[in-house]
Homo-oligomer: A and B are copies of this chain.
Amino acid sequence: MKTSTKILNNAIEEFASLPGIGHKTALKFVLHMLKQKESNVTKFTNSIIELKKSLKECKICHNIADSDICDICADSKRDRNTICIVENIRDIISIESTGQYKGLYHVLGGIISPMDGISPSDLNIESLIVRINENTKEIIFALSATIEGDTTAYYIYKKIKKYGIKISSIAKGISVGNNLDYTDELTLGRSIINRIDFENN
């Protein structure tokens, strides 16, 4: 898709570089921007510039941070004895929005995937081992329920089991509110194997 104006084409190309955005949607964004007040457009672009200028990686857990240490690691109210291992920052946001977890995190920055050329050395595993000390009571794996997720968890498990701390994994089972009809066989099978005591639930 080409328009008659170079400036328009440039902006379309830039929006089309966003993940999952094609040229038609990019054009929609551009026309939306054109309709906005100048001040709103400045607000939009400034928020992106600010993002790139001010955000860093937390030196402890590799979460996003506006200083050397992220708000979660710096929060003295959180349970500092539990570390939840996640693949990426998005997973932290998802878990935080449940309001069910008050411990710390550790962002691996990916999962082991030979197909995509991601090996253990590409992940933040060394910095996790450095973090483990006498206060660490539990490590929770919150990785994808895929072969890659399981492989990664098992790899890390072998590295840290010698410390004798509790190692757990988030439960896999049918979604809350879901009908059994709509649950795939593997998940259903796993939810039967991992069944929990009714009275304790």
A interface residues, Cβ below 8 angstroms from B: 1-8, 10-11, 13-14, 17-20, 25, 27-34, 36, 38, 41-45, 47-52, 54-55, 63-66, 70-72, 88-90, 92-93, 96-97
The 8 closest A-B pairs by CB, nearest first: A4-B71, A45-B45, A14-B47, A11-B47, A11-B51, A10-B47, A41-B52, A14-B44
Question: CB < 8 Å: which of B30, B51, B90 contacts A51?
Answer: B30
Q: A43-B14, A47-B10, A48-B44 are in contact. Are A32 and B5 (CB under 8 A)?
A: no
- B96 near A11 with CB under 8 A, answer no
7 more A-B residue pairs beyond the given contacts A1-B97, A5-B71, with a C-beta to C-beta distance below 8 A: A3-B64, A4-B70, A5-B64, A7-B47, A8-B51, A11-B50, A13-B47
Contacts of A63 in B (CB 8 A): 4
Specify the chain B residue showing the minimal Cβ separation from A37. B52
Scoring A17, A44, A64, A71 by chain B CB atoms within 10 A of each residue's CB, the highest score goes to: A44
Contacts of A70 in B (CB 8 A): 4-5
Q: A27-B93, A93-B27 are in contact. Are A5 and B55 (CB under 8 A)?
A: yes
- B31 near A89 with CB under 8 A, answer yes
Least Cβ distance of A73 to chain B in Å? Answer: 10
Q: A5-B66, A55-B34, A71-B4 are in contact. Are A14 and B96 (CB under 8 A)?
A: no
